[in-house]
Structure 1
Amino acid sequence: MKQAGGILGFALAVPLAGPAEALAARTQVAAGPGSVTLRLNGQPTTLTLEPRTTLLDALREHLDLTGTKKGCDHGQCGACTVHVDGRRTLACLTLAVAAQGKEITTIEGLATGSELHPMQAAFLKHDGFQCGYCTPGQIMSAVACVKEGHASTDDQCREWMSGNLCRCGAYPNILAAVREVASQSAKG
């Protein structure tokens, strides 16, 4: 009985330091606001941010780039998709400080002047949106999908775009837009 009590006491004891505490002790993140320089749509931008500020909040609340949407804020809907160094990234799960020194492209940075990006034009042509809330994230993900070579079939495109949700159900039109741009890219 004494032996069982000793084992139970050991099992219920508070651990000295778990993996999270050990990582925090090694990382030593600054406690207050600091300077963060982001290369955003080809332009360097310096902000003073708390270390825990997400890239999404930096874009929307500090830079007034509201094209990137806050949907679920948990990385489940894809409304906040941006490109970081050419790869699709969920801005709600990315700390702004982690994006320093990397090229960030938002929906506002896709067009060249008044000329829409081919994916933006295809979304308009195929009516690839209804309420429009998910559209910026859908377009950013679609551009990456084509660039990555993951849009050669309908099924492949659906699979690689599955992280972007549309509550209105405009999926057939989104698929048509993505496939059109993919076929144009394959030709030229």
Structure 2
Amino acid sequence: MTRRRVLIIGLDGATWDVLDDTLVEAHMPHLHRLRTAGAYGVLQSCQPPVTAAAWTTCITGCQPYTHGVVGFKEYRCGDDSIHITSAATCRVPNLWRQLSDQGLTVASINVPWTYPCPPVNGVVVSGYGTPGTHVDFTWPPRFKQELLDKMPDFDFLAPWKEADPSDSDAFEANMRAVERC
């Protein structure tokens, strides 16, 4: 039996009414090719519809009240403190942990709220929500150095430059980043 491969691409905050066919075809050729040759859809977000809760819902298949990540921060009544949530806050295994448990090889690259990385049969590079490159943000942990050797300026955020809309250099840099999609 031939094993099928699955690629899931998530674009946080993007909608197909913004990423219309003309724009994608003209400026995002790789995404256009994937979209026309594969399947795509519109994600109905969870409540609350914030990045930490929504991505955790997407990768676990559970609602925030089940997985435990309802926002970027959580209150802990035991010590009357507020903490940033993380993958450690999640009470259920995510998709690649479940697939690994079934003996499948997985890769998860730059998915928000996946730090700290779970041990998997494959590789994980955590995404947005990771404290920085000073922590073990990969699985296996040794992959971190290999990644940083090849990409010393690695950043957990997209290479989008915040700038005044009239700044043509920043606009050009952002368009080059989009065209690589």
Q: Which has the higher contact order (CA 8 A, sep 6+)?
A: 1
Instruction: Give the greater-gyration-radius structure (CA).
Output: 1
- Fold shared, TM-score > 0.5 on shorter chain: no
TM-score range, shorter chain: under 0.3
